[in-house]
Structure 1
Amino acid sequence: MDMEEDLRPKWGQGCSRFCLLPQRVVCSIMGFLSLICVYTNRVSLSMVITVIVVPINRTAVNETDDRVDACPMELEPSEVVKNDDLYDWDEQTQSNILGVFYGGYIVSHLPGGILADKYGAKWVLGICTLVSGISTIFSHIAIVAGGIWCLMVIRVLMGLAQGPIFPALSVLLASWVPKRERGTLGTLCYSGSTLGIILSNSCSGLLLSSFPWPVTFYVFGGASVIWFIIFSFLCTSSPMTHPCIKPKEMTYLMQSIGQTTKDKPPIPWKSMLLSMAMLGVIISQLGHDWGYFVMVTFLPKYMSDVLGVSTKSNGLYTSLPYLAMWLASLASGPLADWLIRTGKLSITTERKLFTFLSALLPGLFLVIASYAGCNKTAVVTLFTISMLFMGPYYAGQKLTPMDMSPSYAGTIMALTNGGGAIAGLASSPIVGALTPNAALREWHVVFITCLVILVISALIFWWLGSGEVQPYDPLYKAPGDNEEEKKK
């Protein structure tokens, strides 16, 4: 029995023969499912709010002579809600309710990343996903019993719970996934956020058109609780502590990754924060998240308030763009691995190219979509093309925290993703201020702004970014010392 096998708990060494999938694949899939859960938790309110709020601004726009900025309202008989059941929240209030999530989201990123780096990712990821689900379940009570301020508190709590999710996932993947498989398994894992939006929008549309609106919160929140129970039994923070990992896989992971979670020196804050590569990845994340969060948060409202689509149609229309993005992200992962493995592109060039394409093209099609007027087919098609081209982002910049420092991937992801969350916090009230009448001409400005921010941030990442292990990481090898790794 070799050293790697000895590291496993004695009581579980016989269970490896029952494992049908490699444990690194299982961990990646559970991370994928975690993101599905937390994004359904996060986004479901964007759909619910379209049916529980009095459409004051939309009525005001329709009563003016400037009808070019208002599309005909599409209502199904089953969707007519009594005014007594609606809440009188104006556009700015709705934007504040949706955006306050990011206040908590920003705060908890760095503590979560540090905890995951120091103690392992399992319980940071598990507990945070659980709390997110519980917060979703209590959203109904907050709205009915507490009103706006109580709902905002719940949203902040949900943000605090979700902040450590991406840092913890980066630590988990850095501990379990070798660099040569990172494009495929890493992209699979991170694409759960996109599928979560798809399921949230499509299922919310069906649930809201068939059941009382609180059911949406209970379904998505309950799924997160079930995920936590399963995850607690299946996954560990590292291969060395997994009771059922096969010896062959343990040896492979130890040789290709090493013990990234053991005996690490203190976090090299100065070197990390003064790194140009760090600055590039933070700015890139901020720019991407501005465009992404505008779509995630406001696409259902755009479809409802501007295009006037029904609730059931809204769920379908807002799911298609993210379905395209999800499929593109899944395809881009293996493509990125192939480009790097065959030497056609260096890891840094691949990360930069995919990041730039997933900024420029989505931004362009967003702007074009805003000029398609009330042609619902054209608008949905253009939004779908836009998000299709955003898919390669996950095989680009999103993987660089693991590339730059496997030992401190959680901390770097906390700094980058937390910095990007500023975009979510700032974009919601700004979009609300720019679109007080939910008018087409107001949304032109919103989407043009997205294009400019996306492109500038991607250009900065092209200039400063890197996909190589940085000198402050204990696993860093000076040029010339890693010829064997290059050959692989």
Structure 2
Amino acid sequence: MTQQPQWGINLSRYFIIPQRVILAIMGFLAILNAYTMRVCLSQAITVLVIKKNVTDEDSDVAICEPDELDDGVSSGGEYDWSEELQGLILSSFYIGYIVTHIPGGLLAEKFGGKWTLGLGILSTAAFTMLTPLAIQQGGSDWLIVSRVLMGLGEGTTFPALSVLLAAWVPANERGKLGALVLGGGQVGTIMGNMLSGVFLDSYDWPFVFYFFGGLGVVWFVIFVFLCYSDPASHPFIKPSEKEYLAKEIGTIGRNESLPPTPWKAILTNLPMFALVSAQIGHDWGFYIMVTDLPKYMADVLQFSIKANGLYSSLPYVMMWIVSVGSGFVADWMIRKGIMSTTNTRKVMTGLAAFGPAIFMVSASYAGCDRVLVVILFTICMGLMGAYYAGMKLSPLDMSPNYAGTLMAITNGIGAITGVITPYLVGVMTPNASLLEWRTVFWVAFGVLCVTAVVYCLWASGEVQPFNNAPIQPRSMDFEAEERKTTAFKEPEYNDSSTGVQKRMERSS
């Protein structure tokens, strides 16, 4: 490692907030931007397509009467897309999203997460801003292509962030900072739904894509200046913070010094199967809500576009509050010894699966009682926020060195549900009736419960054996420089409790 530049040392004096907190904030904003760009189409599609006027004289639960408090329910747009085609359009994002998960994790582990994350968000922003052109010039076909390309860029987000968190966040801060970062998904969904509703009510629909894509570009410029892949490469981190992180986390090797990914050990690991199971359950329920809740609000409850944006966002306000709060609670429980890391993750994951399963189905039995439906969906998604102090942090617990690969595998497999669920919803709800939607929620109930049981039986919050491969320092020049400037001799050992190499300093 080359010597730290002088300008970087001076610049560190202007940063009051620790760099690991700045990284967490920028990680939060990365996911926030990713989700706004991802979900804005779910609102926009309600004004793009010709609206169905479903009636069923033999059933009193087909659709609801328009809310008289609304300014009026939109009659829709000019595109005659079937429910099945709409499902395919909404699911197409996840086709690309799946593809870049594992490559993104591998690249982030080998070269660091900064550019893997940054360029992924930038490319997603570019294709978001090109979406109106794709719709106007090519209709549904080119819209599907643009969504696939957006997914390719965004697929690196979670694997790269896992690598960054493993390099920057000590274990005793992982719950709160990890939940803060991952909470960007809820805040992004809130902003994506709420602002999309406002913009679609006031402006032409292309404005939504230009606005959120532009925010992604602004984030990229700020992120490239402020954030780095690890403390050792950061040019203006305070020495005290750098020493603290070296003591708490150790040195995670990059480039040629990182041993090959132990694929066989990872793919045959029972807690890994449990983690994948929980991810499938979470994503099944989450993607139904993120992708299709605005359609439910518009087609069944007959909300106006502005009301749709507001009421579709409320569940994610509660989800974000619970995700951050549960992170603090989980850290406190582990720190005080009330529960082990493993049991804490299981309790949070169980709460985040069984609770939403019950309230999701209950909402479908509330019929056209709009207030009760919104309350039940809000509780449903609020409880789902506990996932972020549960199974979402398991990759960091199980393998700090290969957290990116574990997150890539689990999030990539889970994202397959993002392809399946919107299309399946379109197939299952050809008439967009309440009875058809009730079946959708019962299927989600079964998936959430079964996958949570598997996780609670076999999950682990302990470092797994495949993490313990020898890790070498990134550069011997850096080691030599440290020895020149300190009066300490630094023998190395492999801490069995974390599997990450640390240094013990003792007076010479």
Give TM-score, length-normalised by structure 1: 0.94
Taking the aligned partners of 2:56 and 2:212, their CA distance within structure 1 comes to 38
Contact 2:463 2:497 in 1 (8 A): no
Taking the aligned partners of 1:193 and 1:389, their CA distance within structure 2 comes to 15
Taking the aligned partners of 1:90 and 1:311, their CA distance within structure 2 comes to 20
Residue 126 (1) aligns with residue 150 (2):
no
* Structure-2 residue corresponding to 1:170: 162
Deviation track 1:322-365 (CA, whole Å, cap 9, x = no partner) reads 00000011111111100000100100110111001100001100
* Structure-1 residue corresponding to 2:39: 43
Match of 2:195 among 203, 214, 220: 203
Secondary structure, counterpart of 1:406 in structure 2:
coil
Contact 1:79 1:209 in 2 (8 A): no
Match of 1:384 among 364, 378, 383: 378
After TM superposition, give the deviation of residue 480 of structure 1 in Å: 12
Contact 2:97 2:148 in 1 (8 A): yes
After TM superposition, give the deviation of residue 455 of structure 1 in Å: 1.0
Contact 1:7 1:241 in 2 (8 A): no
**1:464 aligned partner, one-letter code:** W
Distance 1:327 1:479, change over 3 A: closer
Secondary structure, counterpart of 2:31 in structure 1:
helix
* Structure-2 residue corresponding to 1:97: 89
After TM superposition, give the deviation of residue 7 of structure 1 in Å: 5.5
Residue 330 (1) aligns with residue 330 (2):
no
Deviation track 1:355-408 (CA, whole Å, cap 9, x = no partner) reads 011000011000000000001000000000111111111000000111111111
After TM superposition, give the deviation of residue 462 of structure 1 in Å: 1.1
Residue 466 (1) aligns with residue 460 (2):
yes
Matches within 5 A, 1:366-377: 366-377=360-371
Taking the aligned partners of 1:417 and 1:253, their CA distance within structure 2 comes to 27
Deviation track 1:70-114 (CA, whole Å, cap 9, x = no partner) reads 101348567656x7x521111111010000111111111000000
Taking the aligned partners of 1:8 and 1:300, their CA distance within structure 2 comes to 50
Taking the aligned partners of 1:319 and 1:292, their CA distance within structure 2 comes to 13
After TM superposition, give the deviation of residue 479 of structure 1 in Å: 6.9
Contact 1:8 1:240 in 2 (8 A): no
Taking the aligned partners of 1:163 and 1:266, their CA distance within structure 2 comes to 22
Distance 1:382 1:142, change over 3 A: same
Taking the aligned partners of 1:35 and 1:460, their CA distance within structure 2 comes to 28
Taking the aligned partners of 1:195 and 1:480, their CA distance within structure 2 comes to 32
Distance 1:211 1:236, change over 3 A: same
Match of 1:8 among 4, 8, 13: 4
Deviation track 1:168-221 (CA, whole Å, cap 9, x = no partner) reads 000000000000000000000000011000000110111111111111111100
Deviation track 1:242-298 (CA, whole Å, cap 9, x = no partner) reads 111001100000011111134221111111111111111111101110000000000
Secondary structure, counterpart of 1:472 in structure 2:
helix
Secondary structure, counterpart of 1:285 in structure 2:
helix
After TM superposition, give the deviation of residue 62 of structure 1 in Å: 2.1
* Structure-2 residue corresponding to 1:293: 287
Contact 1:120 1:261 in 2 (8 A): no
* Structure-1 residue corresponding to 2:183: 191
Q: Indicate the RMSD between aligned Cα atoms, in angstroms.
A: 1.9
Residue 20 (1) aligns with residue 16 (2):
yes
Taking the aligned partners of 1:193 and 1:50, their CA distance within structure 2 comes to 22
**1:450 aligned partner, one-letter code:** A
**1:207 aligned partner, one-letter code:** F
> How many pairs are equivalent?
475
Contact 1:401 1:409 in 2 (8 A): yes
* Structure-1 residue corresponding to 2:268: 274
After TM superposition, give the deviation of residue 66 of structure 1 in Å: 2.5
Contact 2:74 2:305 in 1 (8 A): no
Residue 159 (1) aligns with residue 159 (2):
no
Match of 2:305 among 304, 311, 314: 311
Taking the aligned partners of 2:73 and 2:454, their CA distance within structure 1 comes to 46
**1:429 aligned partner, one-letter code:** Y
* Structure-1 residue corresponding to 2:127: 135
After TM superposition, give the deviation of residue 29 of structure 1 in Å: 0.4
**2:233 aligned partner, one-letter code:** T
Distance 1:7 1:289, change over 3 A: farther
**2:64 aligned partner, one-letter code:** C
Matches within 5 A, 1:231-250: 231-250=223-242
Taking the aligned partners of 1:357 and 1:479, their CA distance within structure 2 comes to 27
Give TM-score, length-normalised by structure 2: 0.90
Contact 1:9 1:241 in 2 (8 A): no
* Structure-1 residue corresponding to 2:101: 109
Distance 1:321 1:271, change over 3 A: same
Taking the aligned partners of 1:405 and 1:174, their CA distance within structure 2 comes to 9
**1:88 aligned partner, one-letter code:** D
Taking the aligned partners of 2:231 and 2:159, their CA distance within structure 1 comes to 18
Contact 2:276 2:413 in 1 (8 A): yes
Match of 2:64 among 61, 71, 76: 71
Distance 1:250 1:459, change over 3 A: same
- Work out the percentage of aligned pairs sharing the same amino acid: 49
Secondary structure, counterpart of 2:216 in structure 1:
helix
After TM superposition, give the deviation of residue 443 of structure 1 in Å: 1.0
Taking the aligned partners of 2:362 and 2:3, their CA distance within structure 1 comes to 57
**2:124 aligned partner, one-letter code:** S
**1:357 aligned partner, one-letter code:** L
**Gap regions ≥5 residues in structure 2:** 470-493, 503-508
Matches within 5 A, 1:449-464: 449-464=443-458
**1:322 aligned partner, one-letter code:** Y
Taking the aligned partners of 2:178 and 2:466, their CA distance within structure 1 comes to 23
Residue 416 (1) aligns with residue 407 (2):
no
Taking the aligned partners of 1:118 and 1:191, their CA distance within structure 2 comes to 26
Secondary structure, counterpart of 1:438 in structure 2:
coil
Which shows bigger deviation, 141-150 or 66-75?
66-75
Taking the aligned partners of 1:393 and 1:408, their CA distance within structure 2 comes to 21
